Structure 1
Amino acid sequence: MASTKNTITLSRFSPVSLHFSGTGYRIFLQAAIFCLLCLFPLQSALAQQPRNDAAELSAALKAIKETVSEKDLTQVKLAETAKKTNDLSAAAKTSLEELQAELAKVDQSIDLLGQETKNDPPEVARQRKLLQQKKSGLEKKVAEVRLIQVKSEELLAEITGRREKLSAQQFFHRSADFLQLMQQLYSRKTEWAGDTVSFLLQHSGLETFSPLHLGVGIFLLIITLLFGFWSRWRLLSQASAKKEFIKILMGSVAGYLPFFLPLLVITLYSQLLTKNSASFTYTGPLAFACTLFVFQLWLVRFFFKPILDQKPLISLPDKLASAFRRQLRITAFLIAVLSLLLVAPVEAETGAAYYYFLRLVTGTALCAVLARLGWLFNKIPGLEKTSFWIRSILAIVLLTAIITDLLGFHNISFYVIKGFTQTVVLAVLFFCTRYLVNSVFRSLSYGKTEWSQKVRKQVGLTGNEVGSNFIWINFLLNFLLLIALLVAVLNTWLQSWTAAPQSTRFIMQGFAIGETQIVPLRILIGLLLFALFWTLSNWAKTMLKRSIREDQHVSKSARDAIVTLTGYLGIIIAVLLGLAMAGVNFTSLAVIAGALSVGIGFGLQNIVSNFISGLILLFEQPIRRGDWIVVGNTEGYVKKISVRSTVITTFDKAEVIVPNSEFISTQVTNWMFSDRNGRLRIPVGVAYGSDTELVKKILEDIANAHPAVIIDGSAPKPAALFISFGDSSLNFELRVFLTDVDSRFKTLSDINFSIDAAFRQNNIEIPFPQRDIHIKTEATP
């Protein structure tokens, strides 16, 4: 592109150069803007059209009915059909809402035309007729779409029933028992080796790997091995300088990283190459099983024996910890083998007897190891009482799994073992995650570590102040983790394959109470969002306080008011966002506001009075943070001004919470309202016979010499006044004005020390009250 003054030349992308003068360029822009504006009505009109036509929905419903009419449908096919039916029902609901909205607009247009009369103009009559025809067509479409929605829901219920029935049949299906399996295996004892070798050769997937693929795989393996060992060395070298928990984490990760990374890369690479394979290949699942095994070994190392000989997270006696580690490693291996058996089509390729025999051996071994783990729980200090229930539940589950497997109910046995194993894994993950979350937020709440103190400083928490917002977030995260655990365990143990999606749908879509739709997930997200924005508002307050701290044009009281109001605004935004995410209808809040207005007239008037008084204090600022005030019988410094109350710190370091209405309705003494100057009066008594002129000179010289006394003429100069003749002394009073009334007690002490020293030096006596008592005695008659 080349350009000159008032000319734009486009010659790079077109063989013809286009020249626009300044006027032509403006005309071109105006035309383009006009065209864009013309597109908006078209876009709006297109957006108002229903997305799904009744004919399309009817055709989709017919196709689903034809699929459901088939007799031999598998669970996978039924699940796909159920998803299509659910999508159809949702589409019909959306289309119905759009049609009803359009029908409401047509009714509104008809109402605008008014009642039909004989004197209507022809144009109005024609328009009314067109609208009536359109209304009839829309009502017909609404009826059709509503019928489709009802039929789709009925069809979904039918599919759900078939899935539950098929699940029950598969669940209680009985195949060969243990004796029959042994007979079948014995009859084919000469074919075991051949079947195994044939299976391994046919499903290895090596024929799909070209030399280039193998070369790339070996290269990636070498790179990840080198990177894993380098990362191991780097983590171990840096771990010694870290905190205890970080050191344990880095050490355990470093121990298994050289093995975990290559296995993970092999898993992903083999899955990528064999995803389009026509037959099953076990290379990827085998690599995944190995990766799962290494990951479980890392968990055992992390919790029971850190690599850097640190104190383990789960502290047990050495022999007991060693036994736990050994049994958990065996459990990890058996779980990896079971995961491979579930994926690999061993039953189809080698026969049911061989497959169920492998599964029986692996499952029985897993049950034995789990029984051993349950026995070890009895030896954990502090779990002697709860271990009985653990061992009882474990014994029931394992006996059920073994007996049903021996009797030929392999699906029931597998269901029990799978459900119990997944429950244990989920429980371990739950407690591990909960431990990490609680550790992080406990540190943030109380500032136990350096990093947490930095974070606390960013959100405005100092010293030993408890971070209540972090406690809220911690509570909500624990609650969400518990809900997630319950949902996961429910999905694991539910016998019906359709009940798990129903429970998930209950959490995601909620339930209706009257006309109110309650969605548990939205409520939880709303609470979490409220806690998050509450924390962000505190952080914003801290940032604002820092940004205006050095601004000399803003007074300290104005800064405090700005920061306080910003904090309340953040809380209001957090509440509104939390309520909006929870699905609260704000139009219904008018009723609540009306009820509150009645409540204010009775029991909430004090709260509202304090609230309004707090706003007055923030804006009018008769008192400010740091002021020395006297209200009622309370005297001290203003520590904090909130909307409801004000905190005053007394000279004894007691904190008194005073309702804000007290500052508006009663008299308040503020020693620092307009300035920090203040007068100090010091009474002094000297003995009769003292030189009064010398006393006056000494007192005024001492006052003029003190740095806290004003002597520059901005206030009356120090004066020593002869007040009165007392019973035992000549009474003087030294009156001075101080630059900072906050230092009055220290200044009083300094001047008293100086007066005592000067009087001693000049032999001026400070008398004490004296009384002469004359005892009159009379002779005894």
Structure 2
Amino acid sequence: MNARGVRIGIGLAWIALLLWVGITAVYAENAQFTSDSLELKRIHESLAHSTDPRQLGPWRNEVQGIIHQANVCIQEETADLDNIDKGLKVVGPFVAGEPKSLTQLRDSLLRQQRRASGRQAACKVLYVGGNDILNSIHKKELALRTRYLFQRGADIFGQWQGLRALPAKVWDQERDFWLYHDGKPILEQSPVQGALGVGLALYIVSALLRRRSRRQQRHLYPLVAPFGLGLLAWSLGVFYPLMVLLAGVWTSFIVLTWAFKALLRHLQGLPTRAQREAVLLRVLWRPLRFVLTLASFIGLYELLDRQASRAVLDNVALLTVFHLLVAVALLWLLWRARRFTFFRRHVLSQLLLVLSILATVALDLLGYVNLADFLFFGLSVSVVSLLLALILTWIVEDLSESENDDSGVIGDFLRRRLGFSPAEIIPWVTWIKALLFVAIWLGALIATLFGWGLSHSGLALVWHYFVQGYTVGGMHVEPFRWLIALALLILLFNINNWLQRQLSNRSRLFRHMDVGSRHSVLAILRYLGFLLAILVALSTAGVALHNLAIIAGALSVGIGFGLQNIVNNFVSGLILLLERPIRVGDWVKVGNTEGTVQRLSIRYTLILTFDRTEVFVPNSELISGQVTNWMYSNSVLRLMIPLQIDHDADIDRVRQILEEVGRKHPEVLQEDDPRGLPPTALLLDVSPSALVFYLRVYISDCNRSFLTQTELRAMAVEALHRNGIRLAHPQQDVHLVTEVGERGTNPYSVAPPS
């Protein structure tokens, strides 16, 4: 066989392989579509008949899986159709005389388009049909749930008669399970009696020790009694279900007592603002302990009694008794809570809660046991969850605040772990407190929803939509990604602020720069960090950054209408940061505002006037208006200090004295300093009452101008007095002119009375 034949054979083999792969893929897709369609049809037909409620859960999960696969298929086929459309646009329409390869490519793309359209249509059919069947399943579940809740049984009297009507065999089984072992009463056995006696003795001894002890763990002393009871019963081989139940409930009671007491002791040691938690817990801890101990008893009873008869536990009368005990505990809790000021402001809520408890009790007595059980469980879990969330929220507030600052215990812990000094502010405390609040109340919300019947499948469905997202108006929203983006944005903002503090306080990179230059560089880095954090957060949230051009176009419209002043100040702030005509610490005058620049931001400049008033000046005024900067190139300032000297003084002597005063002051620039002129006394005016001299000096720091003027004036006055030169005072000559009247009398004199 020649080489050409080999090449033809290999080519035919590749074509056959590709055809086989394509046919297999099409067959697999068609088989999967047929299988999903048949499964949806079977479920739909089954829903039309009487359905077992236990079957609805698996059906719901199966339909949700089909819907998810159909949704993925729709997205994939839509993307393929977009790519095929782009290819067809590139190839263009048919033109006579075009190359054969181009025609084959166009035909291939058209075939792919038809297949993709067919698969997309099939997936849409599955998606729509699956959602319809899923809605039918939800409606079926709701109908069955409603029928179950509103199913009426026997009232309290009928329930009691039903309990009494239980066969004697059932009671004998329960008695034998709890009180007998191998046909012998366990309470008559010597090892059981010894174990109970030892447990009681240990409890009495530990109670006496607890009363005399001052240690914080003294409330755990009675825990020795149930542990000793259980250990001794296990070692003697009499660790029967009754002993397990007694030891378990006893242990839970002691541990709950210790936990509430320890929490009370901790809260009482906190500042006065934590007394709200202490008062609330002191009022409510006994009802809460009763409810939790009762719950532990029921749980242990059901756990241990699985091997015995369930007829007694499943009896409606005992369920009603349990509901009544829980109702009494809740009413007791609300009665004690009325003494707390916080609850006095919510009288309507307390009244509604009391009416709800009484209504559930009435439903129990009337025979609506299922509905009463649902309401009791929901109310109990809701009340306990909300109270615990409220207490935990208050505790977090107290731990995050102290008398001296707002960081508290959490801030002190972070300072020790991160190496911060006590004077440094921890910016993450606020975010940590916010995250703790969200976690506490989210946990309370989830517990409350579970209490009101939210199943694991329902929570899984909520979590699915939370993570996978949902489509609203053609836009796919993923809350989980947005939450991660928000957390990342907060983290990056805090990291940016922390880096700013590190660079400004500890870094040696900017030591060669002055304060203004360092502030400008750090400001630019800060805004670049904020911009980078926003871009990273948007990218994490799934926002396509190339779509920012559309946002920029929308912003340009807003700028044209109402944001032009903000953008003007923003651009002016960038110019000020880059060109730096003014810097932090400069002494400037803008219009009627004069003072020291404290801060340069992207929108405004903060100026602290000499009367300690903070003035926010928009950056646009600093660019468009006239600004006087006394410290732009240097901080040298000229001072002209006027002095009025008497006319009799020697002018040359006065000038010599004043110039000598200027040369003696340490802040004044002298002859050898090129930044200014030497001190000079100038006679610039001669008034009728004085010779007006000016002492002209240049000082190196304009910020000390007022202090330097005061010191120079005092030195000049003292030197002039020491040399016998008097300062001039304003003089005014008054001439009294007397005019004689016609009769030789003063016209302004007062005539004597006649």
Normalising by structure 2, we get a TM-score of 0.75
Counterpart contact for 1:199–1:350, Cα < 8 Å = no
Q: Which amino acid aligns with 2:739?
A: E
The amino acid that maps onto 2:122 is E
- Who is 2:125 aligned against? 147
SS in 2 for 1:766: coil
Structure 1 letter corresponding to 2:131: E
Post-superposition offset of 1:409: 3.0
Q: Which residue of 2 aligns with 1:375?
A: 335
Do the aligned partners of 1:289 and 1:339 also contact (CA within 8 Å) in 2?
no
Offset at 1:649? 0.4
Q: 2-side partners of 1:587 and 1:290: how far apart?
A: 66
1:424 has 2:383 as partner: yes
- CA positional deviation for 1:132: 3.5
| More moved, 281-290 vs 350-359 | 281-290
Once the two structures are TM-superposed, the CA of residue 562 in structure 1 deviates from its matched residue by: 1.9
Q: In structure 1, which of residues 660, 667, 691 is the aligned counterpart of residue 626 of structure 2?
A: 667
Contact 1:473–1:532 (CA under 8 A) maintained in structure 2: no
* Correspondent of 2:70 among 75, 87, 92: 92
- Cα distance change on mapping 1:201 and 1:709 into 2, 3 Å: farther
Whichever residue aligns with residue 123 of structure 2, its letter is: V
Aligned to 1:683: 642
Q: Relative to structure 1, is the Cα distance of residues 286 and 426 closer, same or farther in structure 2, using a 3 angstrom cutoff?
A: farther
Deviations 1:684-710 (A, max 9, x none): 222122233332222222211111112
Tell me if 1:192 matches 2:171.
yes
1:326 to 1:429, Cα distance in 2 relative to 1, 3 A: closer
Q: Would the alpha carbon gap of residues 138 and 515 (structure 1) be closer, same or farther in structure 2, given more than 3 Å must change?
A: closer
1:722 match: secondary structure: strand
Q: Distance in 2 between matches of 1:529 and 1:356?
A: 53
Displacement of 1:579: 4.6
Aligned counterparts, 1:23-62, within 5 A: 53-56=29-32, 58-59=34-35, 62=38
Superposition pairs of residues 162-181 of structure 1, within 5 angstroms: 162-181=140-159
Which letter maps to 2:374?
Y
Q: Is residue 605–residue 619 contact of structure 2 (8 Å, CA) maintained in 1?
A: yes
Rg larger for: 2
The residue type paired with residue 664 of structure 1 is I
Deviation at 1:775, TM superposition (A): 0.7
RMSD: 4.6
Other-structure match for 1:270? none
Question: What's 1:620 paired with?
Answer: 579
What's the CA shift for 1:641?
Answer: 0.6
Match of 2:295 among 335, 355, 363: 335
Partners of 1:525 and 1:483 lie apart in 2 by 16
Conservation of the 8 A alpha-carbon contact between 1:290 and 1:336? no
Aligned partner of residue 339 in structure 2, secondary structure: coil
What residue number does 1:775 align with? Answer: 736
Cα offset, 1:378, TM superposition: 2.7
Q: Aligned-pair distance for 1:446? A: 5.8
CA distance in 2, matches of 1:603, 1:459: 47
Deviations 1:457-487, CA, capped at 9 Å, x for gaps: 99999999997x9768867875786566556
TM-score by length of 1: 0.73
- Taking a change above 3 Å as real, the CA distance of residues 595 and 183 of structure 1, as seen in their structure-2 partners, is closer
1:15 is aligned to none
Q: Equivalences for 1:219-618 in 2 at 5 Å?
A: 297=257, 300-301=260-261, 304-306=264-266, 315=275, 324-340=284-300, 349-352=309-312, 355-381=315-341, 383-384=343-344, 386-387=346-347, 389-390=349-350, 392-439=351-398, 447=406, 449=408, 452=411, 485-486=444-445, 488-493=447-452, 513-517=472-476, 526-548=485-507, 551-580=510-539, 589-618=548-577
Aligned mates of 2:91, 2:454 — CA distance in 1: 60
CA gap 1:360/1:450 in 2 versus in 1, 3 angstroms: closer
CA 1:473–1:637 in structure 2 vs 1: closer, same or farther (change >3 Å)?
farther
> How many angstroms does 1:359 deviate by?
3.1
Distance (Å, rounded) in 2 between the aligned partners of 1:197 and 1:614: 88
Residue number in structure 2 paired with 1:78: 56
Query: Which whole-Å CA distance do the structure 2 matches of 1:285 and 1:153 have between them?
Result: 49
> Residue 569 of structure 2 contacts residue 603 of structure 2 at CA under 8 Å; is this kept in 1?
yes
Task: Report what 2:706 is aligned to.
Answer: 745
Give, in angstroms, the shift of residue 343 of structure 1. 6.3
Cα shift at 1:149: 2.5
How far apart are 1:632 and its partner, in Å? 1.2
Task: Tell me which moved more, 483-492 or 758-767.
Answer: 483-492
Moved more, 655-664 or 334-343: 334-343
Aligned mates of 2:534, 2:179 — CA distance in 1: 61
| CA deviation string 1:719-750 (max 9, x = no partner) | 22233323222222111111212111111111
Distance 2:709 2:377 in 1: 82
- Higher mean Cα deviation, 570-579 or 330-339? 570-579
Q: Secondary structure at the match of 2:606?
A: strand
Amino acid at match of 1:350: R
The count of aligned residue pairs is: 668
Aligned residue number for residue 115 of structure 2: 137
Q: Is the CA contact (8 Å cut-off) linking 2:245 and 2:297 kept in structure 1? A: no
The counterpart of 1:630, out of the listed 574, 586, 589, is 589
Which residue does the alignment assign to 1:242? none
Unaligned runs of 5+ in 1: 1-44, 203-235, 238-250, 267-280
1:764 aligns with 2:725: yes
Separation in structure 2 between the aligned mates of residue 460 and residue 557 of structure 1, nearest angstrom: 27
Question: 2:267·2:275 contact (CA, 8 Å) conserved in 1?
Answer: no
Q: Percent identity?
A: 28
Who is 2:683 aligned against? 722
Alpha-carbon distance, 1:399 to partner: 2.3
1:87 alignment partner AA: G
Instruction: Find the residue that maps to 1:350 and give its secondary structure.
Output: coil
The Cα of 1:181 is off from its aligned counterpart by 4.0
Letter paired with 1:195: E
> 2:31 is matched by which residue type in structure 1?
A
1:583-603 deviation per Cα after TM superposition (whole angstroms, max 9, x unaligned) = 656565544433432333343
Given that 2:400 and 2:408 are in contact with CA atoms closer than 8 Å, whether structure 1 keeps it comes out as no
- Residue 400 of structure 1 and its aligned partner are, at CA, apart by 2.8
Verify the 8 A CA contact 1:168 1:496 in the aligned structure 2.
no
Matched letter for residue 93 of structure 2: Q
Structure 2 CA distance for partners of 1:310 and 1:769, relative to 1, 3 Å: closer
CA distance in 1, matches of 2:503, 2:494: 14
Q: Alpha-carbon deviation of 1:104?
A: 3.1
Map residues 648-667 of structure 1 onto 2, 5 A cutoff. Answer: 648-667=607-626
Partners of 2:246 and 2:144 lie apart in 1 by 31
- Supply the distance in 2 between the matched residues of 1:411 and 1:388 (Cα, whole angstroms): 27
Q: CA contact under 8 A between 1:538 and 1:567: conserved in structure 2? A: yes
**Which residue identity lines up with residue 143 of structure 1 in the other structure?**
A
Work out the CA distance in 1 between the residues paired with 2:242 and 2:71.
Answer: 44
Deviation string 1:48-95 (CA, Å, 9 cap, x unpaired) is x99x94533543554566577667865554223312321221122112
Aligned to 1:244: none
Separation in structure 2 between the aligned mates of residue 564 and residue 338 of structure 1, nearest angstrom:
64
